[in-house]
Amino acid sequence: MALYGASTEYVLHSLLWLVEHPEPVSSLDLAELQDIPAAFMAKQLPKLEKAGILAASEGLRGGYRLARHPAQISVLDVVDAAEGRKSLFNCQEIRGRCVLFDDTPPQWATKGVCSIHAAMLRAEQTMREELARTSLADLAGSMRDKAPSAFLGEAQGWLENRAQTRRTSKVRQRRTADTD
């Protein structure tokens, strides 16, 4: 079982497009660009807005944009907003359930923090520290280093074309409604 699900991956990839595109982008366009279910994306982005990661705007030029500079948004901020704060390990206190203890475990068996639980807590802390240390700017830099500049330009053009098409379509709909 994965600790973090598809929500984290989808949202992080979507935010990377916003790093490179300062104009608001609709959740539908972000979903279509990445072949992600639109309803899923529409459900996730308001969580990021509530966490102060995204800012939303309405209207013809509406959509989502980053609310802060990418260097100020950690991967941990995004993970916690998308998934909620999750614990890496859920201790079941098995150490006190040994059949040899009859009904009541001896004090030595349950004294202090379980060593397994303690190790898992340390691992979780290390993971959270790494996610807090890594910013969207770091991830975007890696993507820029990897992808050809032509591809990034194509993606920008695609997003701009989608926004323009949506604006043109809405203006036509208004004109049609006014003449009816």
Q: Identify the pLDDT of residue 62.
A: 82
Tell me how far apart the alpha carbons of residues 111 and 10 are, in angstroms, rounded to a whole number. 43
Closest CA to 77 of 55, 57, 49: 49
Q: What angle do CA 33, 68, 152 make, to 5 degrees?
A: 30
Q: Report CA dihedral (4, 10, 12, 17) to the nearest 10 degrees.
A: 170
Tell me how far apart the alpha carbons of residues 128 and 134 are, in angstroms, rounded to a whole number. 10
Q: How many Cα atoms within 13 Å fall on the side-chain side of residue 45?
A: 28
Tell me how far apart the alpha carbons of residues 175 and 166 are, in angstroms, rounded to a whole number. 14
Each residue's pLDDT, cut to its tens digit, for the chain (180 residues) gives 457 778 899 999 999 999 988 889 999 999 999 999 999 999 999 999 999 999 999 877 789 999 999 999 999 999 999 988 878 788 888 888 888 888 888 888 888 888 888 999 999 999 999 999 999 999 999 998 998 889 988 988 888 888 888 767 655 555 565 565
Q: Are 83 and 7 in contact (CB under 8 A)?
A: yes
Length of the chain: 180
Tell me how far apart the alpha carbons of residues 69 and 177 are, in angstroms, rounded to a whole number. 40
Domains of the chain: 6-84+137-179 (1.10.10.10)
Q: CB-based contacts of 106: which residues, under 8 Å, 6+ apart?
A: none
pTM (global) more than 0.85: no
